[in-house]
Amino acid sequence: MTKIKESSTNFENKQALSSECMEVYAANLIGGQWTLAICCYLINGKLRFGELKKKLPNITERMMTLQLRKLEENKLVKRTVYAEVPPRVEYELTESGQRLKPILGMLEKWGKEHQLLMATD
């Protein structure tokens, strides 16, 4: 009786997926609290759980697990478990995740410009 749905950021029961435009669908996939941060760090290559955790000092393990599982479920991240002791799990972006790269680039550029605007006023 494993509980799965705790933090699935509701794609199924909310409006976004069903009736809204594709941008909203996309935003729901990548707009989660830690989603983009994780993707940013994975875009340069695979990372282990602990390595990723180090880059996100403020995230709890619990949240990281939940977010990574969601990302995996949404096929943005691939999770590979190595049957070793001590355990090793590696996370990497999928093809689809990689294709976010140009979008991340534009977001970064837009963010910089916008931050400037927010400041000079």
- Smallest gap from Cβ 19 to DNA, in A, equals 13
Residue 6's binding partner out of DNA, a copy of itself, none, with CB under 5 to 8 Å set by partner kind: DNA
Given candidates 2, 23, 44, 83, which one binds a copy of itself under the rule CB under 8 A? 23
- 30 near DNA, rule: CB under 7 A: no
- Helix (H) and strand (E) counts in the chain: 7, 3
In the sheet that 77-82 helps form, which strands lie side by side, from edge to edge? 47-48, 88-93, 77-82
DSSP-derived letter for residue 89 is: E
Residue 13's binding partner out of a copy of itself, DNA, none, with CB under 5 to 8 Å set by partner kind: DNA
